[in-house]
Structure 1
Amino acid sequence: MPYINIKVTDTHVTKTQKRLLIEGATALVVTILNKKPETTHVIIDEVPLENWGVNGSPSLNTKK
């Protein structure tokens, strides 16, 4: 049973984009790992931008 966890910032991610991420991630494990889509679980965690950092620093853009 594949479990895929996608983390994104909580800024401007639409329901359509989330659906496409879930469909795309599922398609990858089906195609590459020969897993069954009905047993593939995809979780999207939306992380507040102020809790996100890159290159050793907190994100500079904390406006929503």
Structure 2
Amino acid sequence: MPYINVKITDEGVSNEQKQAIIRGCTELMVKVLNKNPATTFVVIEEVSTDNWGIGFDQVTELRKRASQT
């Protein structure tokens, strides 16, 4: 019974994209580990870019800097 936790930033991911993530993760478990899709759980957590850091910076600040260049 796989449990897959996907964490992404909360930057406008559509419902269709989330469905594709769930489908893709489940298909991977079926293909690689021969798991039953009926008992494969996928949870998507959306994290604020203020709460996601890369290196020394918040993703919010990194996005601001990138848009200024």
Q: TM over 0.5: same fold? A: yes
Bigger radius of gyration among the two: 2
3-state SS of 1:26 partner: helix
Which structure features the higher share of helix residues? Answer: 2
Percent of pairs identical after alignment? 47
Q: 2:41 & 2:53 partners in 1: Cα distance?
A: 26
* Whole-Å separation in 2 of the counterparts to 1:29 and 1:44: 16
SS of the aligned residue for 1:7 comes to: strand
Counterparts of 2:29 and 2:56 in 1: how far apart (Å)?
31
- Structure 2 counterpart of 1:27, which letter? E
Distance 1:23 1:34 in 2: 15
Alignment of 1:21-60 (within 5 A): 21-59=21-59, 60=61
Partner of 1:15: 15
State the TM-score, normalizing by the size of structure 1: 0.90
Q: Name stretches of at least 5 consecutive residues in structure 1 with no aligned partner.
A: none
Q: Which runs of at least 4 in structure 1 moved beyond 3 Å after TM superposition?
A: none
Q: Secondary structure at the match of 1:35?
A: coil
Matched residue count? 62
Give the aligned residue type for 1:49: T
Structure 2's unaligned 5+ residue stretches are 65-69
